[in-house]
Chains A and B, each alone.
Chain A
Amino acid sequence: MTVITGEALRPRHNWQAIITIVLLLAVSFLVILPLVFLVEESLNTGDPMAFPPEAYGFANYIAIFDEDIRVLWNTLIIAVMATVMAILIGFTLAWILTRTNVPGRATLERLMELPYYMTPLVGALAWAVIAGPKSGFINQLWKAAGGGGDIADVYTHFGIAWIMALFEGTVAFVMISASMKSMDPALEESARVMGASKLRTTLTVTLPLVMPGVLGAALFVFAEMLGSFAAALVIGIPARIYVITTAIWDSTLAYPPDYGRASAMGLMLFVVMFGMLTFYRRMINRGSFATITGKAFRPRPMDMGRLAWLLFGVCCLYILLAVVLPIGALVLTSLQRFATVVLSQAEFTLANYRTALALGPVRTAMGNSLMLGFGVASVGVLVMVVLVWIIYRSQLVGRGAVEYLVMFPQAVPRLVFGLALLWAWLNIPIPIYGTLWLLALAYFTVMLPLGVRTLAGVVLQIDKSLEECARVCGAGWVYQMRTVTLPLLKPGVLAAWLLIFMACVRELGASVFLMGPNAKVIAPSIVNAFATSGTELTAAMALIQTFTVIVALAILFRLTRGATKELT
């Protein structure tokens, strides 16, 4: 045997440090710089289009309270209503699906993810079709049944909140059921053993233990609702109900665009959301989630007897309202020239799909979105793998800072980030404003938290010694990443790729500001179509987009199942 000792191995460059520094610089450029521009513009009291500003002051902020107090009030009311509804729905469903013996539990749990994938934009369009005044399906049926006037109108504060709760509130269900699942059933069982009744156990043990989880979810959802855009855009603007996100959007449409006011509003929204999310994180870290031991339990479900079927009905009702009805209404609308739910009057046609696919702008928008999705997901995931590795595996100084930086976009409402990027790139002398390149940069930046979180879950599951062993065997960092880390990350990489792909194809908040006449993407185009042409064409476009997302989703499930099987 030939003996090979340390000296025989070639010395290697310190790739790790080089790559880290480059990434740190790039990420801070992408994440922080736009916000700096935004702060500067919000303080601009001179000509709003001048850069750098000619005069500084707080006039923009003061003006919000003087002139837009109604907007703040709308925002608050709608966010509160949406949060309450989302938490009620989420808590009920989480309780049913984790703590009772409802029939078909596994399948139902899977179905609960669907509304999230529907997107609030599609949901809002669908509910406009279902419950719009006069021509809405519910009102059509009411009239056909002999009723007078409208019985349903989604163009109200409550209507906007309802759509937000249905399609953006699903995170409440996920968070609450996680806290219910992570509770050690022995805690309840010991109460029972001590002689407490079912009800007493629920009141004295279960509820107090789950409460922090519910409060955390409420805080998180409320912050999300404040920054919600799609429903407020589709429903709120025609109804003249402005919330802060739509008000920001509106002031950039004015002539001349009031970027100062928009920036001030955006920053206010950002500060409030950031504060709430920080508070939320502190709350979790303080360990008030005493129930969460990191271990998932499957608590013994309560036997509900015949009531189980009632609970089953509740779950089905939710799926009906959040998935079946909206999709059904859109399909029905998209297949007619003049949408009606009274089938005897309906004339079915594929013309809307033909028009949607034949329209040059729609075709290029869809093509652009798919291309951006592919590009951003592919390049982005590679960069994110390295970032995740540096944050969670390396011993480099400053990895905490990298993590903070990377997760930062999560606290910035998409729309505000879009605005910040718009203003930044209008003034940075690199001519990518109005091109797909800027959209790609924006997508990558706003997707950072999503991708990093997905990949981190997988990285943290990989036993550290698997990598250390490679080093001991003589492999350098790059060789180790290539032969051990990346192959082990495969399922996570696939999942992250598809999630980012889907999120890019559906992106609305940042896109509305950054889309140029020669760089259109699909989600804002759908909103435009809704504002300018009929609901029928819009429905067809929304369905084409949804269908693309569903296909991607199906591939995601197939591939990850295959990949995880390989490893277990």
Chain B
Amino acid sequence: MSVTRIEVKDLVVRYGDQVAVNGVSFTVGRGEHVTLLGPSGCGKTTTLRSIAGLEQPTGGSISIDGQAMYDASQRRNIPTEQRGVSMVFQSYAVWPHMTVFDNVAYGLRVRKQGAADIKSNVERALDLVQMRHLADRPASKLSGGQQQRVALARAVAFSPTVVLFDEPLSNLDAKLRAEMRVELRELQRRLDITSVYVTHDQEEALAISDRVIVMNVGIIEQIGTPEQIYNKPRSRFVADFVGSANLIKGKPAGDGAFLTDGGVNLKVTSGHKPTGKENEVAVRTAYIDLAPRPGENHVPGTVRQRLFHGDFVQYVIDSALGPLIVRRPPTNLLEEGAAVTLSFSPEHCVLLEA
């Protein structure tokens, strides 16, 4: 990986008795797009705000480009405005008393740039989000999607090297959110920026990041590329929170084998070095076929329930593994009561850490 841009080490944030972040460490490389993913209250936003200097941590250190921004041992905490990072807020935080232009120009004016530079930089930023034609409009007269774009343009206008995103798409409706995801990814590629992105939406996290950090109750559960997180979840929490998975209880039976509580012997894989104490495997609902395929785990079952979702069909299949959820494309519909053979490769049957 390239040069480290942001380094967070053993970060702890406490509010009175409550621990919001409990010893979190990770690095973000130059030009990398890292997403902090987790349910609300997992400490992801607190971590992000600590990087921005908007939250006062209790321990650990944060450095950007090798310079300590926060260091508990040195009692050092650089004020937000001197950290040189930029941020897009969940509420957009577009100032209603200014025009679109003034909003975007703010960071440039703080840095005392000349009028001509300001104009050209603002226009370039507005072009990036296709908002140049609205430059003179009062910010209070913008729709939600337009405000989102202005917030984005404002965050990149002063050419920051690090941009922090705090759930920037969570206030948009589903359709606009999908569109903005595409644009965000495009923008990240075009500008040479490093970004840390916070979201509770696993689809969004998988779609737009180079690496995903899954957090829960103030600690990191797993760090990895979107594919690693999805295909090789390390813990029950990750398997359950990211995507949808069936969790099957049992115990390891040595050498890539797993004996389920229902007495079925499965061939499994593992993202970690097995310890023998594991008691669960995860199988993604999308990786189970309902017709036998050679070389895979096979278990007979019956369709108990069928729910037609449009883009996919969800079946509940009764089998020796217990009721399993299976998602298939909406072709070749099976009737409730039909006999099927569950088939999934050992590659997709992941042993979870105990």
Contacts and interface: CB of A to CB of B under 8 A. Distances in A.
A412 B85 CA distance: 48
A395 interface: yes
Interface string B107-127: 100110000010001001000
Nearest to A466: B93
A1 B121 contact: yes
Interface string B76-100: 0011111111110111010111000
A473 interface: yes
Given A469-B89, A472-B81, A488-B96, A5 B140 contact: no
Contact of A469 (B65, B87, B111): B87
Contact of B107 (A8, A12, A473, A490): A473
B302 interface: no
Contacts of B83: 6
Given A6-B84, A11-B82, A474-B110, A465 B90 contact: yes
Contacts of B107: 473-474
Contacts of A8: 84, 111
Interface string A470-489: 11111110010001100110
B241 interface: no
B205 interface: no
Nearest to A470: B106
A508 to B, nearest CB: 38
A5 B93 contact: no
B84 A9 contact: yes
B225 interface: no
A471 B96 contact: no
Contacts of B64: 6
Contacts of A466: 93, 95
B67 A6 contact: yes
Given A9-B82, A476-B81, A465 B93 contact: yes
Interface stretch (B154-162, B277-285, B345-353): B154-162
B354 interface: no
B19 interface: no
B81 A487 contact: no
B84 A4 contact: yes
Contacts of A475: 81, 106, 110
Interface string A5-18: 11111011000000
A395 B56 contact: yes
A475 to B, nearest CB: 5
Contacts of A401: none
B113 to A, nearest CB: 8
Interface string A313-355: 0000000000000000000000000000000000000000000
Given A1-B121, A4-B84, A472 B52 contact: yes
B81 A474 contact: yes
A483 B154 CA distance: 15
Interface centre among A3, A471, A476, A484 (most CB of B within 10 A): A471
A8 B81 CA distance: 11
A473 B161 contact: no
A3 B95 CA distance: 24
B120 to A, nearest CB: 9
A403 to B, nearest CB: 19
A448 B107 CA distance: 35
A315 B154 CA distance: 53
Nearest to A4: B111
Contacts of A476: 79, 81
Given A488-B95, A567-B97, A465 B89 contact: yes
B54 interface: yes
B7 to A, nearest CB: 15
A473 B87 CA distance: 8
Contacts of A483: 106
Contacts of A11: 82
Given A463-B91, A567-B97, A5 B80 contact: no
A129 B82 CA distance: 67
A468 interface: yes
- Most chain B CB inside 10 Å of its own CB: which residue of A1, A11, A566, A568: A1
Contact of B54 (A5, A468, A487): A468
A472 B107 CA distance: 9
A533 interface: no
A15 to B, nearest CB: 11
Contacts of B97: 487-488, 490, 566-567
A61 to B, nearest CB: 43
A2 interface: yes
B84 A469 contact: no
A463 to B, nearest CB: 5
A490 B80 CA distance: 26
A567 B140 contact: yes
Contacts of B91: 463, 465
Nearest to A395: B56
A71 B84 CA distance: 68
Contacts of A474: 81-82, 84, 107, 110-111, 158
Interface string A501-532: 00000000000000000000000000000000
Nearest to A2: B159
A344 to B, nearest CB: 61
A462 to B, nearest CB: 10
A566 B80 CA distance: 30
Interface in B160-195: 161, 164
Nearest to B87: A472
Given A8-B111, A474-B81, A484 B65 contact: no
Contact of B93 (A1, A4, A7, A469): A469
A395 to B, nearest CB: 7
Contacts of A465: 89-91, 93
B65 to A, nearest CB: 7
Given A475-B110, A479-B110, 19 more contacts: A2-B117, A3-B159, A4-B84, A4-B158, A5-B65, A6-B64, A6-B67, A8-B111, A463-B93, A465-B93, A469-B95, A471-B80, A474-B107, A474-B158, A476-B81, A487-B97, A490-B97, A567-B140, A568-B140
21 contacts: A1-B121, A1-B124, A4-B84, A4-B159, A9-B84, A9-B111, A11-B82, A12-B81, A12-B82, A465-B89, A465-B90, A466-B93, A468-B52, A468-B54, A469-B89, A471-B53, A471-B79, A473-B81, A474-B81, A479-B110, A488-B97
Interface of B: 52-54, 56, 64-65, 67, 78-87, 89-91, 93, 95-97, 106-107, 110-111, 117, 121, 124, 140, 154, 158-159, 161, 164
Nearest first, the 8 A-B pairs at minimum CB distance are: A6-B84, A473-B107, A465-B93, A469-B93, A465-B89, A471-B80, A5-B84, A474-B110
